[in-house]
């Protein structure tokens, strides 16, 4: 069985080489994103694996389908970089991979703690040898109400951790009624000191936190996002941070991050005004979509990509 692995980083390549014999799979590894120009790489594979860093155009899906690709496994939980319905309509099945939610949950807690302890401005000042406490007085999680939006595997892992901190937890999720802590979104926004986003991005959740909803939040609240950038109207968030409506934000994902995050921009001009402004602000922590990136999650991701392809082939064989 052949599988073409697109957008394969060196760290993933090591794992694909190591694990593929166990699955009886021969991988073709390429750092390139799938495109009409390199379709020949997939000519021997019914299954391909893609990364999450590049949006896959419908024209590329069509070219892949014509080259015989019937199955795409994305090395991510989110599938928002692929038009899954379109793929289905041309006979390509798209699936995501499960990986340990713990890395993202740990990271979310770290961002919450950084936000409520003003870590960015404290460290910025310490870096220039200004060790005064100034505005460094923080808040303790046990005194706060945390609103978790999205209670899938990651949101649930975040809540599990929060219980250990003794804070009050509120949760909401479209479609799922998490027995404990569940409240309507409006109430969650109104009552929470920290709002953390763990819901998938789709047409219903695009700009879930827009100007109106940010206005509903407590004055001095914090926003944490390790989900998808477009869950937040970034312009509205920047205004709320500038006006003091929100006390801080910690964002591992950002609208328009594609093509910027994961690249070296030290000597290149960044066009995203929002990113530049957020990085300037002392109360906005930005990291480049890093939360998932742990040894364990990367191993799970590669292993489950291989398992997905093997399972697809065996489903096909057995009708």
List contacts with ligand COI (CB under 6 A). 52, 76-78, 289, 292
| Min dist. Cβ of residue 78 to ligand COI (A) | 3
- Report in angstroms how near the CB of residue 252 gets to ligand COI at its nearest: 9
> Which residue bears the tokens 């190591």?
18
Tokens for 61, please give them.
Answer: 């899906």
Q: Identify the helix (H) or strand (E) that includes residue 170.
A: strand 168-172
C-alpha span between 11 and 240 (Å, rounded) = 39
Residue 215: CB atoms within 10 A of its CB come to: 11
Element of type H or E holding 236: helix 234-243
What minimum distance in Å lies between the beta carbon of 200 and ligand COI?
8
Of 67 and 201, CB closest to ligand COI: 201
As annotated, the active-site residues are: 228, 257, 289
Nearer to ligand COI, 46 or 198 (CB): 198
> What letter does residue 86 receive in the DSSP assignment?
H
42/237 Cα distance (integer angstroms): 42
Neighbours of 122 (CB within 10 A): 19
Answer for the pair 82, 61: CB distance below 8 angstroms, yes or no.
yes
Burial of 56 (0-12, 13-18, 19+ CB in 10 A): buried
Residue 81 Cβ vs ligand COI, minimum distance, rounded to whole Å: 9
Residue with Cβ nearer ligand COI (8 or 77)? 77
Cβ nearer to ligand COI, comparing 90 with 98: 98
């Amino acid at each position: 069985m052949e599988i073409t692995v697109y957008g394969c980083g060196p760290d993933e390549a090591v794992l694909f080489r190591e694990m593929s014999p166990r699955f009886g799979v021969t991988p073709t590894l390429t750092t390139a994103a799938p495109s009409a120009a390199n379709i020949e790489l997939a000519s021997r594979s019914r299954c391909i694996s893609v990364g999450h860093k590049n949006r896959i155009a419908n024209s590329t899906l069509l070219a892949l389908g014509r080259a015989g690709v019937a199955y795409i496994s994305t090395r991510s939980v989110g599938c928002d970089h692929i038009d899954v319905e379109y793929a289905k309509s041309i006979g390509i099945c798209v699936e995501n991979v499960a990986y340990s939610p713990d890395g993202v949950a740990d990271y979310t807690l770290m961002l919450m703690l950084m936000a409520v302890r003003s870590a960015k401005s404290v460290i910025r000042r310490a870096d220039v040898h200004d060790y005064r406490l100034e505005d460094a007085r923080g808040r303790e999680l046990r005194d706060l109400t945390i609103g978790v939006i999205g209670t899938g595997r990651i949101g649930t892992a975040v809540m599990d951790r929060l219980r250990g901190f003794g804070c009050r937890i509120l949760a909401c999720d479209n479609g799922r009624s998490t027995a404990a802590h569940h409240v309507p979104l409006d109430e969650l926004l109104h009552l929470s000191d920290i709002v953390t986003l763990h819901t998938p991005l789709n047409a219903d959740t695009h700009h879930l936190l827009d100007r109106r909803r940010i206005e509903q939040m407590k004055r001095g609240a914090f926003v944490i996002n390790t989900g998808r950038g477009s869950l937040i109207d970034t312009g509205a968030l920047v205004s709320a941070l500038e006006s003091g409506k929100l006390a801080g934000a910690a964002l591992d994902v950002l609208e328009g991050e594609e093509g910027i995050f994961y690249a070296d921009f030290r000597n290149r001009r960044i066009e995203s005004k929002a990113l530049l402004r957020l990085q300037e602000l002392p109360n906005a922590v930005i990291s480049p979509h890093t939360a998932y990136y742990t040894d364990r999650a990367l191993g799970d991701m590669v292993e489950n990509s291989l398992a997905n392809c093997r399972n697809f082939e065996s489903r096909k064989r057995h009708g």
